[in-house]
Amino acid sequence: MTKSLNELSIIEAASALRAKEFSVRDLWDACANAAKERNPELNAFLELFEADDAAIESAQKRIDSGHAPLLCGIPLAMKDNILIEGKIASAASKMLANYRATYDATVTKKLKEEGALFVGRTNMDEFAMGSSTEHSAYGPAKNPLDTSRVPGGSSGGSSAAVAANLALAALGTDTGGSIRQPAAHTGLVGMKPTYGAVSRSGLIALGSSLDQAGPLTKSVADAKLLYDVMKGSDPLDATTITSDTYTKKEAGATLRIGVPRHLLAEGIDEDVAAQFESTLAALEAEGHTLIDVSLPTSGYALPVYYVIMPAEASANLARFDGVRYGLAERGGTLLEDYVKSRTSGFGTETIRRILLGTFVLSSGYIDAYYRKADQARGVLRAEYDAAFESCDVIAFPTTPSPAFKFGDKSDPVSMYLEDIFTVTANLTGMPAISVPMGNVERDGVSLPTGIHFTAPLGADDLLFRIGALVTGETL
Ligand code: GLN
């Protein structure tokens, strides 16, 4: 059966464009029309952009000239917290409902230079806080594989858009799992680069020491392609790294896969655990080695994350004060201006995190909470570094369960537990990928699950290599 144009991967579309099987305009129309049709139901996009005729024509010319990069003419979806000059970037918050970006994020600029096109800006949890997209101020996005279930979060609009073939691929941001977890819940590949590998300039900041932008794609090859375009040091982000910041250990012809068995003993659905074991067994059968690794501090990763992340979020969100950006409500005094603007601009989860963050940074508690969490973060990183002495990558399931139903995790702590396997990569800065590892059944519906690999700092390419072994791609 031949695929519709919008069902193609980036690599497939790029080669068909070069073979003149269809035009850039045809490809744009296929995505834009699918998006117009499906978006009212899925709420994957907060806004669909009009066709940019000049960009479409110029992409076609570059392809016709025979010198176009692979991303040229490819329709992508952009998370609503990544700036595109002249477009609204609201981070799915009422606070920024009318905020129009005055410049391109560095990643946007790089994608534009390649000739990529943007279908629209995607729904997300407000300011990227959440694991389901239910915290969006504009209603949740739905999982196209089962619309009674979440598409994951916070980049759930991006995952829904790609899984429903409304764009060929999408950008997300990941502070504690927000690219990898929605990828797992929608059957996609999602990758969080090494901290500093991709510029944060032009991202609406959440946790500045944790945030990275990255790809959500239909294949590992597409994820690698987007990553290679986005990466690189940037004078606008002093935390970006260069290719020689980290010394690379060379992995051998077969890989040593670390499996922290002690973390997998409980809390994972039986059929998800079974998919994980059979994926590992298949890798072992191909000659790769499984090694039991111990990461004793991992049990604390979630509480450590939920101290550090709200602390940084509360500092970053202080700029939304009703004066400088976004919503401005007026009271009788300056203090009333702040209180009114922030009370009506922020949703419940955002307010909860600001309160939590302000508390852990307050003078009586900073040593007990924030500084302690920061120390534990150092221990976690040392443990991972030590584990990587004996293995090349570390594997676990991306999430303990497949996509859940709307409202199932209305208790904040149960929602935070969704991130149990993903937050450590952000705390350590290490790169990580989620790749589909097979489906499980819930209520008669077949739902995807993801396997998660973490690699040492700077070893991002190794993740594409192991990811392709799981999907059976040749890169
Ligand atoms: N779910 C996590 C949180 O709520 C991660 C969010 C993210 O990665 N942006 O903080």
Q: Smallest Cα–Cα separation from 429: which of 393, 377, 372, 357?
A: 377
**Cα(291) to centroid(ligand 1), Å:** 29
Catalytic-labelled residue, pool 154, 159, 201, 434: 154
For residues 176 and 178, give the distance between their C-alpha atoms in angstroms, rounded to a whole number. Answer: 6
CB 5 within 8 A of CB 26: yes
Tokens found for residue 135 = 């915290």
Q: Which residues contact 236 (CB under 8 A, 6 or more apart)?
A: 106, 199, 201, 202
The Å distance, Cα 127 to ligand 1 centre, comes to 9
DSSP 88: B
Distance 281 CA to ligand 1 centre (A): 31
Phi-psi region of 13 (alpha: psi -120 to 50; beta: other; left: phi over 0): alpha
What's the CA-to-centroid distance between 173 and ligand 1, angstroms?
9
Task: Summarize pLDDT for 219-241 with one digit per residue, the tens.
Answer: 999 999 999 999 999 999 999 99
The answer to whether residue 248 scores a pLDDT higher than 80 is no
Amino acid identity for residue 449 in this structure: T
Answer yes or no: is the C-beta of 174 below 6 A from any ligand 1 atom: yes
10 Å CB burial of residue 65 (0-12, 13-18, 19+) is: exposed
Ligand 1 contact, 178 CB (< 6 A): yes
pLDDT for position 435: 98
Annotated catalytic residue 154: yes
| Phi, psi of 209, deg, nearest 5 | -90, 0
- Long-range pairs, 19-25, Cβ under 8 A, ≥24: 23/60, 24/56, 24/59, 24/60, 24/63, 24/72, 24/73, 24/117, 25/56, 25/60
CA of 432 to the centre of ligand 1 (A): 15
CB of 294 within 8 A of CB of 262?
Answer: yes
DSSP annotation string for 154-186: SSHHHHHHHHTTSSSEEEEEESSSTTHHHHHHH
**Pure H helices in 19-174:** 24-42, 53-65, 106-114, 156-163
The tokens of 369 are what?
């909470």
pLDDT recorded at residue 1? 64
Are residues 133 and 150 in contact, defined by beta-carbon separation less than 8 angstroms?
yes
Q: Is 79 a catalytic residue?
A: yes
SS3 content of the chain, % helix, strand, coil (to 5): 40, 15, 40
**Amino acid sitting at position 205:** A
- Check pocket membership of 450 for ligand 1, CB cut-off 6 A: no
Q: For residues 416 and 168, which has the higher predicted lDDT (pLDDT)?
A: 168
Of 82, 123, 125, the one to substitute when testing ligand 1's pocket (max ligand atoms within 8 A of C-beta) is 125
- Structural domains for the chain: 5-230 (3.90.1300.10)
For the cut 90, the answer to whether the pLDDT of residue 35 exceeds it is yes
Nearest atom, ligand 1, residue 153 CA: 1
Adjacency order of strands within the sheet including 75-79: 45-48, 117-122, 75-79, 169-174, 212-217, 189-192, 432-442, 445-454, 393-397, 256-259, 289-292
For the chain, give the mean pLDDT.
97
- Determine the average pLDDT of the residues in 122-145: 98
- CB of 366 closer than 8 Å to CB of 308: no
Q: Give the tens place of pLDDT for each residue, 56-76.
A: 999 999 999 999 999 999 999
Our answer on whether the CB atom of 422 is closer than 6 Å to any ligand 1 atom is no
pTM of the model: 0.98
In this structure, the strands spanning 393-397 and 256-259 are parallel
Atom 10 in ligand 1: residue holding the nearest Cα: 129
CA 323 to chain centre: 30
Nearest CA to ligand 1 atom 4: 130
The pLDDT tens digits of the residues spanning 255-288 come to: 999 999 999 988 999 999 999 999 999 999 999 9
Number of the ligand 1 atom closest to the C-alpha atom of 129: 4
Please identify which of the residues 90, 131, 136, 178 carries the catalytic annotation. 178
Q: Rounded mean pLDDT of 336-359?
A: 97
Sign of the dihedral through C-alpha 121, 125, 129, 130: negative
Ligand 1 center to 68 CA (angstroms): 36
| Catalytic member of 79, 87, 110, 218 | 79
**Does any ligand 1 atom lie closer than 6 A to the CB of residue 73?**
no
179 in ligand 1 pocket by Cβ < 6 Å? no
Is 208 a catalytic site residue?
no
Q: Are 328 and 401 in contact (CB under 8 A)?
A: no
Render pLDDT for 361-415 as a digit per residue (tens, 0 to 9): 999 999 999 999 999 999 999 999 999 999 999 999 999 999 999 999 999 988 9
Q: Give the mean pLDDT of 164-170.
A: 98
Q: Measured from the CB, is residue 154 less than 6 Å from ligand 1?
A: yes
From residue 318, alpha-carbon distances to 21, 99, 170, 323, 341 in Å are 51, 16, 29, 11, 12
Whether 176 lines ligand 1, by a CB cut-off of 6 Å, is yes
- Tell me which of 132, 175, 414, 423 to substitute to probe ligand 1's pocket, judged by most ligand atoms within 8 Å of the beta carbon: 175
- Which of 409, 419, 423 has most ligand 1 atoms within 8 Å of CB, for mutation? 419
For helices 220-230 and 460-471, the axis angle rounded to 10 degrees is 160
pLDDT at residue 249 above 90? no
Over residues 423-434, the pLDDT tens digits come to 999 999 999 999
- Rounded average pLDDT over 31-46: 98
